[in-house]
Amino acid sequence: MAGTASGGSRGSRLAPYLLVAPGILWLLVFFVAPIITLAQTSVSGLEGPWWETYQRALGNYGTHFFRSFRYALGATLFALALGYPLAYFIAFRAGRLKNLLLGLVVLPFFTTFLVRTFAWKTILNDGGPAVWLLQQLHILAPGGRLLDTTIAVVGGLTYNFLPFMILPIYVSLEKIDRRLVEAAEDLYSTPLGAFRKVVLPLSLPGVFAGSLLTFIPATGDFINAQLLGSPNQQMIGTVIQNQFLEVRDYPLAASLSFVLMAVITIGVLAYARVLGTEELA
Amino acid sequence: MRRFGRWLLDGVAILVLGYLFLPIFVIVLYSFNRPAGKFNFVWKAFSLEAWRNPFAYEALYESMKLSLRVAALSTLVATVFGTLIALALTRYRFRGSSAVNLLLVLPLTTPEVVLGSSLLSLFLDLNTRTGFSTIVIAHIMFSVSYVALTVRARIRGFDWTLEEAAMDLGATPLRVFFKVTLPIILPGIVAAAMLAFALSLDDFIITLFNAGNRVTYPLYVYGTRRAAFPPQINVLATAILVMSLLALGATVLWQQRTLRQRGMSVTPLA
């Protein structure tokens, strides 16, 4: 990069450190230090060995962890199934409408997350339009519900994190050289073959990034489960929030939070090792 | 066969766009509802009542004011911090830059519930009372990464030799910054600031942990699930949507204009 040359000799070695200092200090104090405090809190006030709280956390709330990962995985797969075609459409078929469509994808997310989720509650409500339609089509039994079901929660998670799937896939599709696809077709590849052999592999970095950016917030979310689900759909986020703010069993709450972070961070670091962090940004 | 595939793709894309807009349609529609009870979840009758008195609920109005103040303050600080980091990462090669990169990405790959709860355990540990300042601290924390990464993406690949050219022509460093560097990076900074502002206005989970007894707009909406959900919430949500749309449109136009101007003013230099 040309940047290394500018500034010459006058203290330019220090310059980058001075530039990053305020922001990085802020992150060290209010992001890294809190994680350390979290770990300390999780092992505080114990009589027995340090893993006592963790044992209690996983023993009591293991099902919530598994449910959260399951729901998040489901939401990620749905978001991929819905997001990929739209990203493909915008990248390859939208022409001059490209920027407008990208704007439309982001626009709904300028209304508050909570208000959007309440809107889903309105749509899925008993006696609401969705229930009526599905009953008319005999997909849903009379008296059947959508609210307070797993479908509602996973659907809400899918909806709320869909743009995080669409945008990275779009970016990776956009970078693909169109001539590669033409070349494949010139060599008698079918459109489906060209997609499978050329477009899909080149868009995989976007798929990975989008999957992580959907999966991570979905795992920790508790709004969708609280507003659209019943206690049977409670996720680990609800437990952490409840333990921290209502029950105030801080060691237990901290250990739950720490386990969630540890599992996800290990996954992310493994991902970063294989594919690099560039795609995430 | 090929035509069928395209037709199918277009159909799916349109359906997904519809899915994205369905709740938005409901939010706007229900701002014109006159609900039967306290909860605006079932359609009753068309009414302009909520639009005539958008601030009928004092607490809703206060929460909106608090959210705007938090967003303004945290956006200001995070934009400065984040932009400085982005400049360092694009302009210099230095030891530790990959650690800086990692530190920027990690908050984005940590669930919000962890960010919020760990920050709360820090404040508990320090015996800090949670309230306005802790909300702002938290919002700056999660915005810095977004700003730094957005600005970096926008200014990467820019031709920095223009700065040297200005210096060679005798401009002072300060003048170079304000006349050359800032105009170049400004569109990226504005985009990042808008993102930070929107994220702050919308944040619920991290704020819930660190708000003490203060109530931001999302926290107010959360609280309504037990007491009442007035259509005024939909009115404000619609208003925010329209204002974001206008801001988005204005920046796009402004960026196109500056790009055109730059195209004309930069070429003679090259």
Mean of the pLDDT values across residues B80-109? Answer: 92
Mean of the pLDDT values across residues B65-91? Answer: 96
| pLDDT value for A20 | 96
Are the C-beta atoms of A78 and A154 separated by less than 8 Å?
Answer: yes
Name the least confident of A178-182, A225-229, B239-243.
A178-182
Q: Does residue A280 have a pLDDT over 70?
A: no
pLDDT tens digits along A200-258: 888 988 998 899 999 999 999 999 999 999 999 999 999 999 999 999 999 999 999 99
Averaging pLDDT over each range in A185-199, B70-84, B249-263, which range is the top one?
B70-84
- The alpha-carbon gap from B32 to the nearest alpha carbon of chain A, in Å, equals 14
| pLDDT value for A275 | 64
Phi and psi at residue B130, to the nearest 5°: -80, 145
Both tokens of residue B150?
A: 């957005």
Closest-CA residue in chain B for A15?
B88
A250/B92 Cβ within 8 A: no
What 3-state DSSP class applies to B224? coil
Cα angle value A109/B140/A106 (rounded, 5°): 15
Beta bridge partners of B229: B39
| pLDDT value for B265 | 43
Q: With bands split at pLDDT 50, 70 and 90, how would you rate the model's confidence at B75?
A: very high
Name the least confident of A46-60, A77-91, A239-253, B14-28.
A46-60
Cα dihedral sign for A106, A107, A111, A114? negative
Q: Give the separation between CA B119 and CA B126, rounded to whole angstroms.
A: 11
| pLDDT value for B259 | 66
* B130 secondary structure, DSSP code: P
- The alpha-carbon gap from B222 to the nearest alpha carbon of chain A, in Å, equals 7
Beta bridge partners of B33: B46
Q: Give the separation between CA A108 and CA A129, rounded to whole angstroms.
A: 20
Q: Which of A26, A237, A277 lies closest to B101 in CB terms?
A: A277
Q: Does residue B257 have a pLDDT over 90?
A: no
Beta bridge partners of A181: none
Q: How many CB atoms lie within 10 A of CB B95?
A: 9
Are the C-beta atoms of A107 and B242 separated by less than 8 Å?
Answer: no
Mean of the pLDDT values across residues A107-111? Answer: 83
Cβ neighbors of B137 (< 8 A, separation 6 or more) are: A30, B119, B210
Q: Give the separation between CA A27 and CA A239, rounded to whole angstroms.
A: 26
Query: Which one, of B159, B139, B158, lies nearest residue B79 by Cα?
Result: B139
Mutate to test the interface with A, among B92, B226, B252 (most CBs of A within 10 A): B92
Are the C-beta atoms of A194 and A185 separated by less than 8 Å?
Answer: yes
Query: Which one, of B91, B252, B251, B80, lies nearest residue B156 by Cα?
Result: B91
Q: Does residue A18 have a pLDDT over 80?
A: yes
pLDDT tens digits along B126-158: 999 999 999 999 999 999 999 999 999 888 877
B27/A119 Cβ within 8 A: yes
pLDDT tens digits along B107-128: 988 999 999 999 999 999 999 9
Q: How many CB atoms lie within 10 A of CB A215?
A: 25
Q: Give the separation between CA A40 and CA B121, rounded to whole angstroms.
A: 9
| pLDDT value for B143 | 97
User: Which is higher by pLDDT, B28 or B38?
Assistant: B28
A-chain CB neighbours of B222 within 8 Å are: 114, 223
Determine contact: A264 vs chain B, CB below 8 A.
yes
| pLDDT value for A95 | 80
B21/A30 Cβ within 8 A: no
Mean pLDDT of chain A: 87
Q: Does residue A274 have a pLDDT over 80?
A: no
Are the C-beta atoms of A210 and A164 separated by less than 8 Å?
Answer: yes
Determine contact: A220 vs chain B, CB below 8 A.
yes
Cα-based torsion angle of the residue sequence B246, B248, B249, B252 in order, rounded to the nearest 10 degrees: 160
| pLDDT value for B218 | 94
Mean pLDDT of chain B: 88
Cα dihedral sign for B254, B257, B261, B267? positive
Both tokens of residue A37?
A: 């405090």
| pLDDT value for A240 | 96
Judged by CB atoms within 8 Å, which residues 128-187 of A form the interface with B? 128, 159, 162
| ipTM surpassing 0.95 | no
Q: How far is CA A253 from CA A71, A239, B117, B119, B131, in A?
A: 21, 8, 8, 13, 21
pLDDT tens digits along B39-57: 888 888 898 888 998 888 8
DSSP secondary structure string for all residues of A164-226: HHHHHHHHHHHTS-HHHHHHHHHTT--HHHHIIIIIHHHHHHHHHHHHHHHHHHHHH--HHHH
Q: With bands split at pLDDT 50, 70 and 90, how would you rate the model's confidence at A85?
A: very high
Q: Does residue A22 have a pLDDT over 80?
A: yes
Determine contact: A241 vs chain B, CB below 8 A.
yes
Name the least confident of A131-135, A163-167, A255-259.
A131-135
